[in-house]
Chains A and B, each alone.
Chain A
Amino acid sequence: MPRDEVPDRFAPWPPGIEPEVPVPGYPNTWTHTPSQPLHRRPAGRTEATGPLALHRKLPCGDANLAQLAPGRIAIGQLMHLSGRILDEDGRPVRGAVVELWQANAAGRYFHPIDQRDAPLDPDFIGNGRVLTDEEGRYAFFTIKPGAYPVPVKETWWRPPHLHFSVIGPSSLSRLVTQMYFAGDPLNAYDRILNAVPDAAARDRLIARHLPPEEVGDRWLGFTHDIVLRGRHATPATP
């Protein structure tokens, strides 16, 4: 990866984009979120650099969550999701590691910590890891997850969502985020989605539905771009 392909400028988060913490009604955030002001430091080499060629450490290529093995199709609405990983200049982030995990159609995770009384699907594990291509593109074949309740005193239901973890070329471009679906009535009540103050920033967490004319009628189609922090000091000449 040549020098002019990796961002070297890292401005602070623009206002309204970072979730406001701690989150009212979400008790864990009141015991985990640091209480002291964060120390501001200049972005030096250690922040601008990050792991490259991580695919050797983290095997990638696991893009089909909907089919565990031939003939073993997960229960739920099949969906295809694709998108691009970009930096703040809109340039594709090549070779980024994209990890996705989600609940099954009944809203239960294949995870020992999730002991909720909802069915597990023997044909759905619900996670995958891929590497972005030359255009920064990723794609997964999966099912639309179900909603699930958060086990706190003032409970709320988490709307259907996918979890993303993206490892880009800088330690400051590391991102963990979540993706939502347009029109779900639970979106309005989700404490996690609504912790993001800026309405436009919340909108950017919602996937765009692709009509059947574009993706066919065998599965739902969605597209979702993710923007990592970082810009380039030297503009690229087109």
Chain B
Amino acid sequence: MRPNEPLPPTSQATIGPFFPRTFFRTGDNDLTRVSAEAQPTARGETILLRGRVVREGGVSCLNMILEAWQADADGHFNHPLDPDRHLADPDFLGWGRAWTDAEGCYEFRTILPGGFADATGPRAPHINLTVMGAGLMRRVLTTVFFPDFAPANHADPVLALVPEAQRPRLLACPDGEADGIRVFRFDILLRGGPEEETPFFEE
């Protein structure tokens, strides 16, 4: 092994239509638990993030794989690149995987993330989503923000890169409650016109 010998990254390809159902387990879409058997974290407000993935023409996308990654309730990541890792919630995983049903619907159970500041600036609370599926040769990346944090959203350096008219499309919509838990809705239009397509970020 020769460290620091630059290697070109391996090309990505579509996840295709046959990502195994047998890989899925109950609770994969639950970010609040570090394992299926673990107790959910006690920190933060538990929320449901629900939405529908559609393609051109508003047609439902079945069998899309979504993965979420986010900071804990206080804005920390349990990762060596977080300088405050020692403060990170040990009972919060921050990662989950969901898949869409025949109507294109997905759901994550998580907690409302906290904001933090890094080299890019003051980051508003957000959830990173990646979508993979048949027809997507490259995965798409988007970021969900919350209407609860208007001033923080206004100051967010990544949201600021998105044209103002498109920013509302990156805000989750409050959608009532389920079992006493607030529900947020975030629909994803993979392909549409400039007036409607979900804003996506370069990898």
Point out residues on A near B: beta carbons under 8 Å.
1-3, 5-6, 8, 12-14, 17-19, 21-23, 26, 28-36, 38-42, 44-54, 56-59, 86-92, 99, 101, 103, 109-114, 125-127, 129, 135, 163, 165, 169, 171-172, 174-178, 192-193, 195-196, 200-202, 204-205, 226-229, 231-232, 235-236, 238
Contact = CB atoms under 8 A, between A and B. Distances in A.
Given A31-B56, A174-B67, A176-B15, A111 B9 contact: no
B200 A114 contact: no
A90 B157 CA distance: 32
B149 interface: no
Interface of B: 1-23, 25, 28, 33-36, 38, 55-57, 59, 61, 63, 67, 69-71, 77-82, 93-95, 116, 118-120, 123, 126, 128, 130, 132-140, 157-158, 161-162, 190-194, 197-203
Nearest to A126: B20
A109 B116 CA distance: 44
B190 A92 contact: no
Given A88-B6, A101-B19, 9 more contacts: A14-B9, A21-B138, A22-B137, A32-B61, A35-B192, A91-B4, A99-B23, A163-B16, A192-B14
Contacts of A236: 3-4
B20 A127 contact: yes
Contact of B7 (A23, A89, A103): A89
B80 A2 contact: yes
Closest 5 CB pairs of A and B: A28-B135, A32-B135, A51-B95, A44-B120, A56-B35
Contacts of A205: 10-11, 13
Given A39-B202, A90-B7, A171-B130, A177 B13 contact: yes
